[in-house]
Amino acid sequence: MNLEQRSSGILLHPTSLPGHSGIGDLGPAAYEFVNFLAEARQGLWQILPLNPAAIGNSPYSSTSAFAGNPLLISLQRLAERGMISHEKVATLNRPEGPVDYLRVAREKLPLLDEAAAWFLANATGEQRARFDHFVAENSWWLEDYVLFEALRERHGLQSWNRWPEGEARRDAATLAALRTELADQLDRARFLQFAFFEQWRALHTYCGQRGVRVVGDVAIFVSFDSADVWTDPGQFRIDMRSLQPEAVAGVPPDAFSNTGQRWGNPLYRWDVLRERGYEWWVRRMSWALAHCDIIRLDHFRGFQQYWAIPNHEPTAVNGRWEDGPGEDLFRVLHERLGELPFIAEDLGVITADVNALRERWRMPGMRILQFAFGDPGAHVYLPHCYDRNTVVYTGTHDNDTTLGWWQHCTDYERRSAGALLGEAADGANWAMIRLAEGSTANLCVVPLQDVLGLGQEARMNIPSVSDGNWAWRYAPGALRTELAQKLAALAEVTDRTSHPGWNSGGEDFAA
């Protein structure tokens, strides 16, 4: 996958599509968005992690590093294949407005469960064979995941370390009895994963046919309350007597927070992972590359050094830097997987050894234009400082929209930006988009909110704020032809035009 070919694209998570059931999904609106990208000559669609969201509905806090989020399954697609009635799907007709996750789960999950039951009772021989093949091929993560979710539901979403002893410590006889007792529920959960990946594979194939490469996202850490940690706590820094983390992840105090950020993810036992040939990471990255074309590695500096916080500490202040696997991990990944089409999220204070690791494997780093105007030291985020092996963004999912930033930035930032951008009759958002597109960076990604000219109300996430995030959706009809034409003209003049389709494939029955 050539990351040195100039290209541009749009950042949009599927939950932000105007989905039929109160949340964006992998149905018709997703295909309409891909058509918009193709019309706009955009070669990239960047998404956030597709895993089941847990704490705060964040896609970066998931119950599995491998499973897909069932809420993204398109009920319309299932109805088209007779698995659920169109009338029942129509009762959820809420194509616009922010995502109400509690309501979506309350209303959508029972219909998904009903579709699963229909399939398991009525699937044709060919359909059942495809399902059985999926289950067998993915048993290495699927079987533990579906049991984890069933037990989590049984125990009122309590963390796994609070379950009965035999379940928390995975007593073999206890788990075998549970698999028998919960057999029907587990089979329905297997179907939901099958339906998700069938629908995602069909959409991914369609992206390739329209010349769009999907940029996925892999968070370096996983959640403590996840199937991954419950299944194999020995590869994490877990005190096996108390079943509590010994230390957790975060970042130290900086200009944005006097107490740093205490994320709470368990840290890896990198010595154990190394002894195992990094097999878990090989499987994780192989799985990610099977479902996306390019992978953004979140918190890349943590692979070189990470901030370790004793679990009893309430903030990130009293942590310390510890060495990650560095070169050793990426050497193994390259040996096992070949080409590594990775983007390194290298924002913040980055040391020379982190830069050296990224450059050794030719990974593009990230530059955010909103960061460029705070003081002369921030000018490293301006285009004249870029290496070509860079991805430039106007902002990311963690930033305000460009118009929101413009309205709330300091007077100094506004003067500095105005000196470079000049007067923009079509708004500061388009001035920033043009600055990004015209830069020397090989890759350019713009959040859809900036293309649509939306303000702070359309922000996707405010870091360290636990409620109200990840809910924005664009309105039906927002992807106007004139916007596509404007983007296409920019892509053409900046030599970022998308290229013919690179992939092909048939339609999947659950898509």
E strand or H helix at 111: helix 101-122
Active site residue 345: yes
For residue 52, the 8-state DSSP code is P
Alpha-carbon gap, residue 45 to 60, rounded angstroms: 18
For residue 73, the 8-state DSSP code is S
Alpha-carbon gap, residue 327 to 359, rounded angstroms: 11
Active site residue 32: no
Measured from the Cβ of residue 326, the count of other Cβ atoms closer than 10 Å reads: 17
List the catalytic residue out of 25, 149, 345, 437.
345
Residue 194, classed as helix, strand or coil, is: helix
Q: Are 236 and 266 in contact (CB under 8 A)?
A: yes
**Angle at CA of residue 308, ends 307 and 310, nearest 5°:** 145
Q: Are 507 and 50 in contact (CB under 8 A)?
A: no
For residue 293, the 8-state DSSP code is S
DSSP assignments along 17-37, one per residue? S--TBSS--SSHHHHHHHHHH
**Residue 215: closest CA among 52, 10, 428:** 10
Active site residue 398: yes
Which residues, at least 6 apart from 270, have a Cβ–Cβ distance to it below 8 Å? 323, 324, 325
List the catalytic residue out of 32, 39, 114, 398.
398
Alpha-carbon gap, residue 395 to 416, rounded angstroms: 17
Alpha-carbon gap, residue 132 to 121, rounded angstroms: 14
List the catalytic residue out of 107, 232, 246, 298.
298
Q: Which residue has the tokens 């596509």?
A: 484
Question: Which residues form the catalytic set?
Answer: 298, 345, 398
